Structure 1
């Protein structure tokens, strides 16, 4: 169901931390016009962890209305409180989202058995396609291959996985296991530079933050791979390899992504909710150099 290039959309804020919906509209239209297959709002890059339930509902409603069915819309509904997950998930269904993305529980990481019960309860409570979100670097525990495959077998509305693990071997094993029992189940890599390895392993694409910065680059990569144009695949991959440095040049990577969007011409604030802190002039110049270096590759 969810295949190709999906963007983990930034949430653009003003300097006071309020939603900048005007610039969000411009940004969303640019993503769609660049040819992306779908947009995730309120994921990790979208700072879901820093907003109240009511704020998340407000942004989700805006997002669905702004996209207006031009591409797929996913809403991140993860929380440490399962009742909040179910509430925001049901709301996402009501407003017309195409699916929800749920990060595995964090703080007290669950055992495999507890994770199955957690996601199973949500799957039974909501009637909307669910993408599981495995991000052990942030949650402290990994959604194991066994957990994902068991959930895929039991619940028809669990349809996809975003695997944000810095090891393509893990993603490959997930793909091979899940596809053998549910060929319709899709697996997207959360690491931007793993698109090619994901596809070679039988996966379905990426859901990533750098597509905010260069959406057409990722779309070109996807189309070139589909058309077996490996000269273009190589060029796109080299550019993405350079852009990956954006994840390491600010205190919180989200700030660097916002700065790179600003460098590319959208005059936005780079304000990021705490624990993000303001970007320095030195960091902004590093971001600018990275964007320019990637753009210079021909």
Structure 2
């Protein structure tokens, strides 16, 4: 599969669970079919929005197997295989390769801080040990450690199997520097934003797209922006960007926001349960009220 399969709009797919926080295959199937029928370019399972960090490895593998089988080649599939130890990442990544995933995405270790040299060796060892393309994932607000543009550029140059990065940093200059440095050194390296509101700016700077949560339930907005950018349709972009900005307020309503994404999927037409993995839980009524107001303001 061409590396160009991993660009555009990619939802970090929510993992559908029942009210006990157990994986719900029926709901997941309904949701996957909805996304496959949309204009999203690929599907990412077991990312942050997929609640991988609250799952056992056995559950992660169960979810990955179900999702790859359900997608059945209709869209490219990326599986989140991040962990604090290199050996665990390799094990989960090889499992993803074995079940037919198209790529994996690996967040940097999120407990013990590492020197840049150790982070470099972590990613290089993974890239040289697995038989599947690897995306890096930078989310310093959660991991406590940034993947600097200089480090990412070094990895991009030395590891052809590392094909890109999802940069979830609330600072457009960080994405800009990744585009100038990493893509400058290796033009096929993908730079993908993680914050919804940076989708258009990332594209305008020469980046490749976004792995953005609102595409779980509003792909017509995010995919519409991507299509309008390609077609240089500024009128469409001017209409869609304010709606995306309104929806981006959802992320600040609750911590974590996993229930809100699932409820947005349900509220926009899919009959799914909205359970979450403990210690996450359903929000209180004040949050739900504000959630409904934001959806309405955005036209849903």
Which of the five TM-score ranges fits, normalised by the shorter chain?
over 0.9
**Residues 1:146 and 2:140 aligned together:** no
Per mean C-alpha deviation after superposition, the further-off stretch among 83-92 and 284-293 is: 284-293
Q: Which residue of 1 aligns with 2:30?
A: 26
Flag the 1:279–1:267 CA change in 2: closer, same or farther, 3 A: farther
Structure 1 runs (4+) deviating above 3 angstroms are none
Offset of residue 270 of structure 1: 2.5
TM-score by length of 2: 0.96
Aligned length: 296
Offset of residue 263 of structure 1: 1.6
Q: Which residue of 2 aligns with 1:17?
A: 21
Q: Which residue of 1 aligns with 2:202?
A: 198
Offset of residue 261 of structure 1: 1.4
After superposition, where does 1:49-128 map in structure 2 within 5 Å? 49-128=53-132
- Determine the C-alpha separation between the residues in 2 that align with 1:84 and 1:166: 29
- Determine the C-alpha separation between the residues in 1 that align with 2:167 and 2:212: 11
- Determine the C-alpha separation between the residues in 2 that align with 1:80 and 1:251: 22
Offset of residue 264 of structure 1: 1.2
CA contact (8 A) 1:251 1:277 kept: no
- Determine the C-alpha separation between the residues in 1 that align with 2:212 and 2:75: 16
- Determine the C-alpha separation between the residues in 1 that align with 2:136 and 2:235: 33
- More relative contact order, 1 or 2 (CA 8 Å, 6+ apart): 2
**Residues 1:294 and 2:293 aligned together:** no
Offset of residue 115 of structure 1: 0.3
Per mean C-alpha deviation after superposition, the further-off stretch among 277-286 and 163-172 is: 277-286
Unaligned runs of 5+ in 1: none
Offset of residue 254 of structure 1: 1.2
After superposition, where does 1:189-228 map in structure 2 within 5 Å? 189-228=193-232
Task: Spell out, residue by residue over 1:73-101, the C-alpha distance to the aligned partner (whole angstroms, 9 max, x if none).
Answer: 00000011222111110011111111000
Q: Which residue of 2 aligns with 1:231?
A: 235
Offset of residue 250 of structure 1: 2.0
**Residues 1:275 and 2:279 aligned together:** yes
Q: Secondary structure at the match of 1:295?
A: coil
TM-score by length of 1: 0.97
Q: Secondary structure at the match of 1:74?
A: strand
Q: Secondary structure at the match of 2:126?
A: helix
Q: Secondary structure at the match of 1:152?
A: helix
- Determine the C-alpha separation between the residues in 2 that align with 1:194 and 1:251: 21
Per mean C-alpha deviation after superposition, the further-off stretch among 244-253 and 189-198 is: 244-253
Offset of residue 236 of structure 1: 1.1
- CA-atom RMSD, angstroms? 1.1
CA contact (8 A) 2:31 2:272 kept: no
Unaligned runs of 5+ in 2: none
- Determine the C-alpha separation between the residues in 2 that align with 1:215 and 1:39: 12
- Determine the C-alpha separation between the residues in 2 that align with 1:232 and 1:101: 31
Q: Which residue of 1 aligns with 2:43?
A: 39
Offset of residue 36 of structure 1: 0.4
Offset of residue 279 of structure 1: 2.0
CA contact (8 A) 2:8 2:208 kept: yes
CA contact (8 A) 1:53 1:84 kept: no
